[in-house]
Amino acid sequence: MMNKSEKIFFSIKEVALEIGESEPTIRYWEKEFHELKPRKTPGGTRFFTKENIELLKHIKFLLREQKLTIAGAKKRLKNKHANDSDKTKELLLEKLEFIKKELNDILKQIAAPEDLSKYNP
């Protein structure tokens, strides 16, 4: 039997219980917050991922705890994604610099190979 931590997809009923909101509220938030994209069967049954649930918890926090309007929460989420995007870009640039250095080291070895005869039996 699969435990909760191993599950990949969750029904809207499970999500509603997890985050403490009603199913209609979750459906409404899905319409309002385009970042929230649960998978749907051809019949329209929603299946949420752990990432969807975390986003719903964040939306709930913004609306219920921070008392933001839907528009305010959308703006906050947009800015968060922009900040996340900037951080991701910065990390990717650092990784790219590391890869460039590694490639330069490899190219130097190819251009001036050490005596390889010691590696041949």
Contact criterion met (CB below 8 Å) for 29 and 37: no
Domain ranges of the chain: 1-72, 79-112
Is domain 1-72 classified as CATH 3.40.50.720?
A: no
Q: What is the pTM of this model?
A: 0.63
Residue type, 47: F
Per-residue pLDDT of 12-64, as tens digits, reads 999 999 999 999 999 999 999 999 999 999 999 999 999 999 999 999 999 99
Residue 37 near residue 52 (C-beta atoms within 8 A): yes
- Residues 58-86 have pLDDT tens digits of 999 999 999 999 999 999 988 876 555 56
Contact 92, 81 (CB under 8 A): no
Q: pLDDT band at 120, cuts 50/70/90?
A: low
Report residue 10 CA to chain centroid gap: 17
DSSP state of 66: S
Q: Which of 31-35, 91-95, 102-106 has the lowest mean pLDDT?
A: 91-95
Burial class (CB in 10 A: 0-12, 13-18, 19+), 87: exposed
